[in-house]
Chain A
């Protein structure tokens, strides 16, 4: 457009670059921190240019998660836990929400709206407001410090159910009718028609739910007790401890960068679905 002459554009670029720089600055400093040795950081002499120890720091973090003063679990183990948790939560939420939305939309049965509202009101019960009783239920079920305890209680999803319900309502009746003419039962119709049609929605929700699962904090903090079950986010905070200057900051920063990579990559490479998921999930 001609209306936006050069001067206006320069200003926009200028401020956008500043915005991008401010957002990126903490990560840049963390990357730099992960390339120097503990001594230089502890003496407060770390410059803002990369140091020589990147490879050894990352290998040490990945393999042991420990240094001179930090004793954590290997980042490899904790990343695996986070990945398992994020994937089970994302797929679990999508799977059970798909079938419950299918039940609510395509069947008529007593209690249909009651059950729908039951799922709906869980929106108003975030884990933070029922911490202790939920913890007690999980401990009574013997699921403390296990993958089951980490994931199952977080798998119910009002958001995903609402979203799939809305989408299913837009599937034309003719399609259902045609399926029935071909002799497809409800399960066949779900598998052959509804599931393929929902692909975009599933991808969008997956991105959001993966990030949600990976970034969980309060729940794994309560549920995991052994170092081997800890997630990476919890692990890093435990490594910092009291936050003394004299600690293995280079290991902590290398772990931090590693912990950010999977969810950030998901957002960057699945950007289109991410944006769709974010906008849909909050409607």
Chain B
């Protein structure tokens, strides 16, 4: 879409773009280029010399069982967070969409967790599930569960999934609610006059109409679980115990920042970049489809 009326200044548009472009170049493109460049270099242990090694860093990363474990773990984590956050949000949105008293109040009471930082969400859940001082942690031990997320990897994973999904429910709720509210009530009424049960109405009318939103949320939730949950994991488990909660993004951080393996960490960064590009492409394809919907 192009405008017909346009200002004719020669220099001004460049000046207006300059701040954004400067920041983009210095803090986005240059580092991204560096990450790609580093990913094909191998440094000696003292960081004095580096050598061009083609795709060795990638081969090393992708054939490392620890890395593959982390890939599996990340997908398990992302699918669990997405499933929990989306189903509970859909259920809540479905209830809040009914013509009930106080719908506005419920809405406020359901959306605020969005504003809580992931790391703070982690702290809240840690305080509840702490094995010796947490309310539920103590309870679990009292009824005989050997609850200690600092020693048990599965329990640690459970806790980071819980804290991460808790925060994401609000986001999904808002989008599901908007999608449900945009369904014409007359269609639902017509179906109910025709004798369709409420379950049948949901599966034949509501579900198809909200499926574009669901798909969009699926992508957004995956991106969230991949990248934004770093704070949850760092605050709650630090990737442990024994790497049980080390997701891909956490591994980039721990290999690069804590263990200073620049080449390996950069190769992992590049792999993550490819994942983001893929997810973003899917998201935009979807949006185009929605326009024609």
Residues of chain A touching chain B, judged by Cβ–Cβ distance below 8 Å, are 1, 3-4, 8-9, 12-13, 15-16, 19-20, 23-27, 29-30, 33, 41-42, 44, 46, 48, 96-97, 99-100, 102-109, 112, 115, 118-119, 122-126, 128-138, 152-153, 155-157, 161, 169, 173, 176-177, 180, 185-187, 189, 211, 214-215, 217-218, 221-222, 233-234, 236-237, 240, 243, 245, 249, 252-253, 256, 259-260, 263-264, 266-268, 271, 274-275, 278-279, 282-283
**Is B140's beta carbon under 8 Å from chain A?**
no
Confirm or deny: B119 has a beta carbon within 8 angstroms of a beta carbon on chain A.
Answer: yes
Chain B positions within 8 Å of A25 at CB level: 128
Partner of A264 from the list B116, B138, B175, B265 (CB cut-off 8 Å) is B116
Q: Which of A26, A137, A152 contacts B125 (CB 8 A)?
A: A26
A29–B135 contact, CB under 8 A? yes
28 A/B residue pairs, CB under 8 Å, sorted by A: A3-B192, A4-B99, A44-B132, A106-B6, A106-B7, A122-B28, A125-B28, A125-B276, A126-B227, A128-B227, A128-B252, A129-B32, A130-B28, A131-B257, A132-B35, A132-B256, A152-B27, A180-B5, A186-B12, A211-B115, A215-B118, A217-B118, A217-B230, A237-B123, A245-B132, A267-B114, A275-B111, A282-B216
Interface contact A236-B119, CB-CB below 8 Å: yes
Do A222 and B19 touch across chains, with their CB atoms under 8 A apart?
no
Kindly count the residue-residue contacts between A and B in the assembled complex, taking CB atoms under 8 Å apart.
289
**Is A268's CB under 8 angstroms from B112's CB?**
yes
* Cα separation A221 to B65 with both chains bound (whole Å): 29
Q: A19 — which chain B residues lie within 8 A by C-beta?
A: 88, 91-92, 95, 110
Q: How distant is B222 from chain A, measured CB to nearest CB, in Å?
A: 13
A20 neighbours in B (Cβ, 8 Å): 106, 109-110
CB of B48 within 8 A of chain A? no
Given contacts A107-B9, A112-B13, A249-B133, are A137 and B20 in contact (CB under 8 A)? no
How far is it, in angstroms, between the C-alpha of A55 and the C-alpha of B203 when the chains are bound? 53
| A26-B133 contact in complex given A119-B24, A173-B5, A253-B127, C-beta closer than 8 Å | no
Q: Distance in Å from the Cβ of A246 to the closest Cβ of chain B? A: 9
Complex Cα distance, B51 from A188, in Å, reads 55
Is B74 close to A, CB under 8 A?
no
Binds A, one of B52-60, B204-212, B266-274: B266-274
B16 contacts A by Cβ under 8 Å: yes
- Give the residues in chain B near A125, CB-CB below 8 Å: 28, 32, 273, 276
Contact between chains at B276 and A124 (CB < 8 Å):
yes
**B150 on the interface (CB 8 Å rule)?**
yes
Least Cβ distance of B3 to chain A in Å?
6
